[in-house]
Amino acid sequence: MKPDDILRVAEREAEKQRAYKSRINVCCSSGCLPFGALQVLKAFESAIKEYGLEGECKVSRTGCIGTCSVGPVALIEPGGFLYQNITPENAKEIVKRHIISGEPVKELLYANEAFFKKQYRLVLRNAGRIDPLRIEEYIMVGGYSALIKCLTKMTPKEVIDEVIASGLRGRGGAGFPTGQKWNFVAREKATPKYVIANLDEGDPGVFANRTLAEADPHAIIEGMTIAAYAVGAEKGYIYVRAEYPLAVQTLREALKQAKSMNLVGENILETQFNFDIELRMGAGAFVAGEETGILASIEGRRATPRPRPPYPATSGLWGKPTLIQNVETLANVPLIILNGGNWFAKIGTPKCTGTKCFSLTGKVNNPGLIEVPMGITLREIVFEIGGGVPAGRKFKAVLVGGPSGGCLPESALDLPIDYESLTKAGAIMGSGGIVVIDDESCMVDTAWFFTDFCVDESCGKCVPCRVGLLKMRNILERIMRGEGRLEDLDLLQELGEYVRDVSLCGLGQTAPNPILTTLRYFRDEYIAHIVDKKCPAGKCFRLEAEI
């Protein structure tokens, strides 16, 4: 296929879609599937058939819209009517009243406007709006035109310059400037070069990358292919957690389609550019998401990280230059190419441009997947988008950045979301998890939970992470049993700083964050456990009580 052929695909698809007066987008993402999304989809389809509306109304399976707590959900266009808690029974009702009579079924509508008001959907631009399994729909909404622009009008250097101008930073956690990373790989002489799309979203409570892959896989593939063009890579791997079967399936299908349209593979769009993509599955190891861990895993080894330097940009997969990017980072790229780096740089804050996807969960009224501009405050996220904690309970803390993030108190809620502010407060951006904790939870127990997670996920290579973290967890357990001593707090602090400074990789370096931040912001709870032998939230000491 040539670039013009792709444009014709877009035209043909648009024409086809114009024939429909309305469209019912049923979310069939991992959040809604367990609750009967497929049955709802079928019910919509058979209702449309029953009423003979096949030519007028299109029923489509789409990715996630974000309101995961009220699934199954469906979005009806035109008008953007979002229905919640749909059952096969009321699906028919919706068709009858909304599609035929033109009167939205008010009692089933998602009425919470605040959830969407402060969001800014760039990465999730197509989520819930197109059928992820039909490449034609992605192309219709402008998909792959950024790739065409790169291949026909831009040199690799111009592509990199555009990404540098955008100020885009890695969304996997550390926030390294993306354009600069591309430059490092581009200037390496050794070949072949590789691009890895990191979808090993192992953080508990985080599902942003999975949602993206399930809703808009081609955005990842297009971003990856552009990156490969920019750095001169000819082979790519998408590394997906095996716990995400639907994402794996969706990506596999999307890759097949992209290859059949010559958007991935040899002589892409009849140019000299070759880039092949393969899917690789993880197998349940959080540490495999670490840059050098992912390399080892793709090479078929134990996913133990190794010291850097050498950095993957010089010596990555099989010792060759390798670009590793989180899938969310990659999904931003087509937009930057189409609209220009300067356009992107205006979104967010000057040092932290663009948006960030967050999984908002825990004790909050509107949990779900959100995308917000950088610089928004935690308060806006928790209390406006999230609607605050459920009635009768009190906000206590918010955990930002996954298991190795930090627990921040009320006083930190006015922090703007950006890499530097979060790090300064003791948290991290991580891969974008926000868990709201209310007064029912004990902060010592919460710190224990995350530390225990990291103990389990430590690869065991370096001493601080393998032994240091374990000892920290054991001290917490002693405190929770009522056997703590005040000196334990100093020892926890010392061990925490040691593990943070001496560990080999990012996992160990950030794993003490939950303990260090709870010691900093919720020290009184530790003291209550140690001195008064009491758990303010009534969580700990329970085991003894039961026996």
Partner 1 sequence: MSSEDRRLQMLERIMREHGYDKSALLEILHMAHELYGYFDKNLLNYISSRLNLPPSHVYGVASFYNLFKFRRPGEHVISACMGTACYVKGVEEIVSAIEREFNIKRGGSSPDGRISLFITRCIGACAMAPNITIDGEVIGRATKEAVLERIRKVLGGGVVEAR
Partner 2 sequence: MSGTGVVKLKIDGVEVTANEGETILSAAKRAGIKIPALCYLDGLSSYGGCRLCIVEVKGSPRLFPACTTPVSNGMEVTTDSPKLRKYRKMTIELLLSEKPHICAICIANGNCELQDLAREFGVDHLRVEREWKSQKIDLSHSFLVLDNNRCILCTRCLRVCDEIEGVHALDIKMRGKDSQIIIDIDDDWGSSISCTSCRKCARVCPVGAIYVRDEPISRTKNKDIAQFILLRRRR
For partner 1, the binding residues (CB under 8 A) are 30-31, 34-35, 68-69, 71, 201-207, 210, 242-244, 280-286, 297-304, 318, 359, 361-363, 367-369, 399, 402-403, 433, 435, 437, 441, 446, 449-450, 453, 459
- Report the residue number, 155 or 474, with the smaller CB distance to partner 2: 474
Owner of token pair 């996630």: 64
If contact means CB under 5 to 8 A according to the sort of partner, which of partner 2, partner 1, none does residue 413 touch? none
Interhelix angle for 487-502 vs 469-480, to 10°?
160
124 closest CA partner among 417, 331, 327, 377: 331
- Report the residue number, 443 or 504, with the smaller CB distance to partner 2: 504
Residue 353 tokens, joined: 């441009």
Determine, following the binding rule CB under 8 A, whether residue 175 of this chain makes contact with partner 2: no
**In angstroms, rounded to a whole number, what is the distance separating the alpha carbons of residues 244 and 434?**
20
Interhelix angle for 178-186 vs 156-166, to 10°?
160
If contact means CB under 5 to 8 A according to the sort of partner, which of partner 1, partner 2, none does residue 119 touch? none
426 closest CA partner among 497, 488, 321: 497
In this chain, which of 40, 381, 427, 455 binds partner 2, going by CB under 8 A?
A: 455
- Report the residue number, 167 or 368, with the smaller CB distance to partner 1: 368
Please tell me the count of residues contacting partner 2 according to CB under 8 A.
Answer: 34
If contact means CB under 5 to 8 A according to the sort of partner, which of partner 2, partner 1, none does residue 390 touch? none
If contact means CB under 5 to 8 A according to the sort of partner, which of partner 1, partner 2, none does residue 464 touch? partner 2
Provide φ and ψ at 361, rounded to 5°. Answer: -140, -175
Helix (H, G, I), strand (E, B) or coil at 297: helix
**What region, left, alpha or beta, does residue 80 occupy, with left being phi > 0 and alpha being psi -120 to 50 degrees?**
left
Determine, following the binding rule CB under 8 A, whether residue 79 of this chain makes contact with partner 2: no
Instruction: State the minimum distance, in angstroms, from the CB of residue 312 to partner 2.
Output: 14
- Report the residue number, 110 or 244, with the smaller CB distance to partner 1: 244
Identify whether the C-beta of residue 417 lies closer than 8 Å to the C-beta of residue 377: yes
If contact means CB under 5 to 8 A according to the sort of partner, which of partner 1, partner 2, none does residue 31 touch? partner 1
Strands 22-27 and 74-77: antiparallel
Instruction: State the minimum distance, in angstroms, from the CB of residue 362 to partner 1.
Output: 5
- Report the residue number, 71 or 512, with the smaller CB distance to partner 1: 71
**In angstroms, rounded to a whole number, what is the distance separating the alpha carbons of residues 236 and 277?**
4
If contact means CB under 5 to 8 A according to the sort of partner, which of partner 2, partner 1, none does residue 97 touch? none
Instruction: State the minimum distance, in angstroms, from the CB of residue 266 to partner 1.
Output: 19
Determine, following the binding rule CB under 8 A, whether residue 386 of this chain makes contact with partner 2: no
Identify whether the C-beta of residue 502 lies closer than 8 Å to the C-beta of residue 496: no
Within 462-521, the residues that bind partner 2 by CB under 8 A are: 462-468, 470-471, 474-475, 491, 494-495, 498, 501-504
State the CB neighbour count (10 A cutoff) for residue 376.
Answer: 23
Identify whether the C-beta of residue 307 lies closer than 8 Å to the C-beta of residue 131: no
Q: Which stretch binds partner 2 (CB under 8 A): 44-52, 123-131, 411-419, 452-460?
A: 452-460
DSSP run (H or E) holding 356: strand 355-362
Q: What Å distances lie between residue 135 and 225, 324, 353, CA to CA?
A: 15, 25, 29
If contact means CB under 5 to 8 A according to the sort of partner, which of partner 2, partner 1, none does residue 159 touch? none
Owner of token pair 């988008």: 385
- Report the residue number, 27 or 511, with the smaller CB distance to partner 2: 511
Identify whether the C-beta of residue 386 lies closer than 8 Å to the C-beta of residue 412: no
DSSP run (H or E) holding 87: none
If contact means CB under 5 to 8 A according to the sort of partner, which of partner 1, partner 2, none does residue 504 touch? partner 2
Owner of token pair 């430590």: 458
Instruction: Provide the binding-site residues for partner 2, judged by CB under 8 A.
Output: 285, 287, 302, 304, 306-307, 309-310, 455-468, 470-471, 474-475, 491, 494-495, 498, 501-504
